[in-house]
Amino acid sequence: MTSTAIQIPSLDEIQQECARRSLYDFCDYMMWDEVQERSTFVHGEHVRKMCDALQAVERGDINRLMIFAPPRHMKSLANSQLGPAYFLGKDPRRRIVQTGYGDAISVEHSRRCRDFFVSPRFRALFPNARYQATKETQSWLPPPRQSAHEWGTTAGGGFRAVGIGGALTG
């Protein structure tokens, strides 16, 4: 009689695999609070639908998407911060432009996205997606101290934040 060992994945491994496959699960995974020992992500059917639509954009099934929801309904987190990080994790060659009603809000979204992108939780999910400063003069600074208007990946992708009326070419 032969015996076969079955490796059962840990809960964290299962959560990581789900986070790689689903933007909704990615948001939940990335919003883990070590102190509270729980995710601070706000769950809801509206958020799931928003994340599903964004994933359709990521796959190329949708090329124009408008999302309307009241304030405090996770739009900025899913669309402008975690969504772009997820897209760059899936394909670090992507080039993403984030616009907002003003330069300050666009840069704030870029900064939060970059902070998620360089976090240990993100690197555990997408080890091949690596951060790279877009200006050589910034490369010696840690990412949180660098400009957040524009940042890139080692694969040639990147993120650019522009307010309405700001310069955007190409």
CA distance 64 to 138: 34
pLDDT digit string (tens) for 102-140?
888 888 999 999 999 999 999 999 999 998 877 665 555
pLDDT digit string (tens) for 94-109?
999 888 888 888 889 9
HEC string of 109-156 equals: HHHHHHHHHCCHHHHHHCCCCCEECCCHHHCCCCHHHCCCCEEEECCC
pLDDT digit string (tens) for 45-82?
999 999 999 999 999 999 999 999 888 788 889 989 99
Predicted TM-score (pTM) of this structure: 0.85
**Nearest to 150, CA basis, from 115, 116, 111:** 111
57 φ/ψ angles, rounded to the nearest 5 degrees: -65, -45
Is residue 25's pLDDT more than 80?
A: yes
